[in-house]
Amino acid sequence: MKQLLILSGKGGTGKTTIASAFIKLAEARAYADCDVDAPNLHLITGWNTEPEKKDYYGLPKAEIDPEKCTACDLCRQNCRFEAILVEGEYQADPFACEGCGVCEFVCPAGAVTMVPAVAGELMLYTGGEKVFSTAQLKMGSGTSGKLVTEVKKQMKEAAAGVQLAIIDGSPGIGCPVIASLSGVDMVLVVAEPSVSGISDLQRIIDTAAKSGIKTAVCINKFDTNMEKAEEIERFCQDRRLPFIGKIPFDTDAVKAVNNGQTIVDLDCASGRAVKEVYERTMELLFAGGAG
Amino acid sequence: MRIAVLSGKGGTGKTLLAVNLAAVAKNATYIDCDVEEPNGHLFFKPEGVQEEIVTVRVPQVENERCNGCRKCVEFCNFNALAYAKELIVFEEICHSCGGCIMTCPEKALTEKERAIGIVQKGTAGPVRVLTGMLNPGEPSGVPVIKKLLAEENPEASKEIFLDSPPGSACIVMESIKDADYCILVAEPTIFGVHNLNMVYELVRLLKKPFGVVLNKCLAGENPAEKFCLERKIKILGRIPFDQELGRLNSNARIAAAESEKYAALFVDILEAVRGEVRHETVADS
Amino acid sequence: MRIAIPVEEKTSAANVCSSFGRTPYFLIYDTETKESTFLDNSAVASAGGAGIKAAQTIIDNNVGALLTPRCGGNAAAVLQAAEIEIYKTTSPAVKDNIEAFIAGELPLLKEFHAGFHGRGGR
């Protein structure tokens, strides 16, 4: 199975719009949404069946038994995450608690226990020989990296014989991005032609470079700032990154997406451009033989 | 007065709004909490920038004192320690809880600092600009945000605008947990509304007063506006989809500083926010 | 010598598990007594650092060599510090790998992958 991951650094550049177009063009039988914090891919992939759902457990959370608590304050004093709140009773704040267990260790009264905590939900859509894996992280949660790993694992297990998997990634450069990079064969970075977009592009390229994975760049909405678009092409040349193409800004794209369609479901400028980007991406991905 | 600007989805206009509101408020502080991809400083181009390294504490072992009892290895819930002939510390996995230090009966563990990012402080005219930057490769920006917010001096300005990261995960919560008011920015797409719903749930969970700014508004039905009207959410303002505004923003120019038209637009939003905040303060007293 | 292999079920006929850190069980085979025993891998439920914890389990059970299809950088660092050799499995069947190991035909595992969710490895 060859895995293609779509990242951006900056949010809102069009990862999901492009990922959904690729999935349509490839008639992909396996795809995943690794933006577990704010998943959107399910809104345009048109599944009308219910997915299999599974609770995702992150790190355990501290719970304080008020009957045993003597209010000695040792837990609060030793907690590095400001996760012990005192509102009359001593309570652990489930949003700040990192599950380290220090409070349980220092408590002289045995009033603290670490309990498993649901941090999100995994969803797996299967049908018609296709598999779509996604998840939703509970708000305020950490351990998004592990959930991303579960999303990819779930997809791989359900789609064992499939040749190509397309993964819609998350913005940023932190743990969900780092987790999504693991084991993929190629990264396509979708860049935005703006000062912010270029700054963010450099940071995501630096992050992806640490993984040693083949990385290519395309520009979305390139005609919103031709000067910056050219700057991105020069950046790619300097960093020896394959520059795969550019897609114009297209109001038809917004209309399509708002109707739950991909940009290749109708005849429009962005749809035609993304087709070329798709073809070049596949050439690069499968260069050196199919996996 | 801490005003957080957030959105579930990336690219909706958090930085556009936070930067321009701080610019028209004048005697304000702008804090960029999107430490993974900070952009506000590109607009403000602050001067007199001072930089501080953000560190986290990780354990280090004094091998002569270590007797291989493994109590620290067994304690660590993150599996950041292993023992094979001597103790091995995996610094990037460590969550800096300090627990291993406490469990060691031989006092063989002490802590050292490890750099994970930086905080920059500067000024752009009357605006104080604070930026947090996480080093690429580091998984969590939470300690950088904690340091950033500890640096702010609440007396220094009337209003503090917090530019949050996208989403609603732990870094967003860290950014907004001490905010007095939250502005949710929404774009008129189904993705935008879906993710608006997430931050709407978040601010309600944290019991934060909030309002919505609709950005990139086009003619015709606006699903984000519909979302707000259905839930009787206060709409603080509407920023039209405007090519000129988009161009200025794309070139990292502060629109409110470049034209009267845009200054007026952001002043109106700022006044709406101030009105809501006053209303909240009165309601509380 | 005792050798460890990650397996999906607690039987000698089980398949080799594709993950080291998150394998549910380890089969421990003693090349002298020719006996097999099984260990539960407590790392399977870890939020992070699973490879490290699994490696610690291997070290603590008097194992001389690990046979696995893949292994992370952090786990490898721990095993190498304990002077436990890591070999690459060449078949999904446990039996084949044990025989190949004894015949000296199993290659050493040379490439280690990065940490899976944000921490460690390169």
Helix, strand, coil proportions of chain A in percent (round to 5)? Answer: 35, 25, 40
- Express each pLDDT in B31-49 by its tens digit: 999 999 999 999 999 999 9
Residues of B in contact with C53 (CB under 8 A): 79, 82
Residues A105 and A229 in one domain: no
Task: State yes or no: pLDDT of A255 exceeds 90.
Answer: no
- pLDDT for B279 equals 82
For residues A145 and A32, membership in a common domain is answered with yes
Q: Is A35 in the same domain as A63?
A: no
Residue A96 and residue A216 in one domain: no
Averaged pLDDT score across all residues of chain B: 93
Q: Would you tell me how many other CB atoms lie within 10 Å of the CB of residue B220? A: 8
Inter-chain contact B79–C59, Cβ cutoff 8 Å? no
Contact A145 C118 (CB under 8 A): yes
pLDDT at B191: 87
Name every chain B residue with its beta carbon within 8 A of the beta carbon of A178: 137, 139
Count of structural domains, chain A: 2
In a domain, A290, yes or no: no
Q: Do B246 and A174 touch (CB under 8 A)?
A: no
Nearest to B84 among C59, C115, C118 (CB): C59
Site of tokens 């996760």: A83
The dihedral built from the CA positions of residue B73, B169, B43 and B272, taken in this order, carries a sign that is negative
User: Same domain, yes or no, for A87 and A15?
Assistant: no
For residue A291, is it within any domain?
no
* A199 touching B (Cβ < 8 Å): yes
For residue B157, the model assigns a pLDDT of 64
Contact assignment for C117 to A211 by CB distance below 8 Å = no
* End-of-domain residue from the set A116, A135, A165: A116
Question: In sequence order, what are the residues at sequence separation of 6 or more whose Cβ sits closer than 8 angstroms to the Cβ of residue B31?
Answer: B130, B131, B132, B148, B149, B152, B160, B161, B162, B163
Q: Read off the DSSP letter of residue B165.
A: P
pLDDT at B94: 92
Task: Identify which has the larger pLDDT, A144 or A154.
Answer: A154
Contact of A179 with A146, CB cutoff 8 Å:
yes
Would residue A197 count as lying in a domain? Answer: yes
A94 and A156 assigned to the same domain:
no
Q: What is the pLDDT of residue B187?
A: 93
Query: Which chain A residues are Cβ-neighbours of B141 within 8 angstroms?
Result: 174
Partners of C116 on chain A (C-beta within 8 Å) are 145-146, 149, 179, 182
Q: Which of residues 268-287 of A touch B (CB under 8 A)?
A: none
Which of these, A120, A125, A112, lies nearest to A51 by C-alpha position? A125
All domains of chain B, ordered by start, with CATH? 2-54+117-284 (3.40.50.300), 63-107 (3.30.70.20)
Q: Which among A93, A116, A139 is the end of a domain?
A: A116
Check residues B157 and A141 and name the one with the higher pLDDT: A141
Contact B8, B29 (CB under 8 A): no
Contact (CB<8Å) A40/B205 = no
Q: How far is A278 from chain B (nearest CA, A)?
A: 22
For residues A128 and A106, membership in a common domain is answered with no
Q: Are residues A267 and A246 in the same domain?
A: yes
Q: Is the pLDDT of residue B276 over 50?
A: yes
Q: Residue A290: what pLDDT?
A: 46
A243 domain residue, yes or no: yes
Low-confidence winner among A99-103, A243-247, B108-112, B153-157 (lowest mean pLDDT): B153-157
**Least CB-CB distance to C78: which of B77, B84, B92?**
B84
Q: Do B83 and C59 touch (CB under 8 A)?
A: yes
The residue range of the domain holding A180 is 2-56+119-285
Chains with ≥3 CB–CB distances under 8 Å to C: A, B
* Domain-located, residue A111: yes
Question: H helices then E strands: how many in chain B?
Answer: 11, 11
Measure Cα distances from B122 to B48, B87, B130, B146, B151 in Å.
Answer: 5, 43, 7, 18, 12
Residues A106 and A217 grouped into a single domain: no
pLDDT of residue B224: 94
Q: Which residues of B touch C72 (CB under 8 A)?
A: none
Q: Are residue A124 and residue A196 in the same domain, yes or no?
A: yes
pLDDT at B220 over 60: yes
Interchain CB distance below 8 Å, A196 and B198:
no
pLDDT in tens, B143-180: 999 999 998 776 666 899 999 998 888 889 999 999 99
pTM greater than 0.90 (yes/no): no
**Residue A68 touches partner B, C-beta closer than 8 Å:** no
Phi, psi dihedral angles at B244 (to 5 degrees): -65, -45
Whole-number pLDDT of residue A104: 97
Set of chain B residues whose Cβ sits within 8 Å of the Cβ of C50:
79
Pairwise CB contact (< 8 Å): C82 & B84? yes
Give contacts of A100 with chain B, Cβ < 8 Å: 77-78, 95, 97, 99
Element (H, E) at B225: helix B223-230
List of chain B residues whose C-beta atoms are within 8 Å of the C-beta of residue C81: 82, 84-86, 88
Lowest mean pLDDT among A136-145, A182-191, B99-108, B248-257: A136-145
Fold classification of C2-99 (topology level) = Nucleotidyltransferase; domain 5 (3.30.420)
β-strand partners of B121? B50, B130
Token digits of residue A230? 């050219």
* Residues of chain C where predicted confidence (pLDDT) is lower than 50: 118-122
Short-list A246, A234, A249, A250, CA closest to A280: A246
CB contact under 8 A, C48 and A148: no
A168 and A234 assigned to the same domain? yes
Q: What is the pLDDT of residue B139?
A: 79
Same domain, A129 and A181: yes
pLDDT score of A291: 40
In a domain, A6, yes or no: yes
Using DSSP's 3-state secondary structure scheme, residue A123 falls into: strand
Overall average pLDDT of the A85-93 stretch:
94
Instruction: Tell me which residues of chain A, numbers 221 to 240, contact chain B at a CB-CB cutoff of 8 Å.
Output: 224-225, 228
Chain segment A12-58, per-residue pLDDT in tens: 999 999 999 999 999 999 999 999 988 999 998 888 899 999 999 98
Every domain of chain C and the residues it spans? 2-99
Could you tell me if A114 lies within 8 Å of chain B, comparing CB atoms? yes
A59, A178, A182 member nearest C47 (Cβ): A59
Whether residue B173 and residue A140 make contact (CB cut-off 8 A), yes or no, is yes
Task: For residue B224, give both structure tokens.
Answer: 């984000």
The continuous run of DSSP H or E covering C87 comes out as strand C85-88
Length of chain C (residues): 122
Q: How far apart are CA B107 and CA B101, in angstroms?
A: 7
- Rg, C-alpha atoms of chain A: 22
Give the rounded distance of the alpha carbon of A101 from its chain centre: 29
DSSP, res A41: G
- pLDDT at A288 (0 to 100): 64
Mean pLDDT of A139-160: 87
* pLDDT tens digit sequence for B231-257: 999 999 999 999 999 999 999 999 999
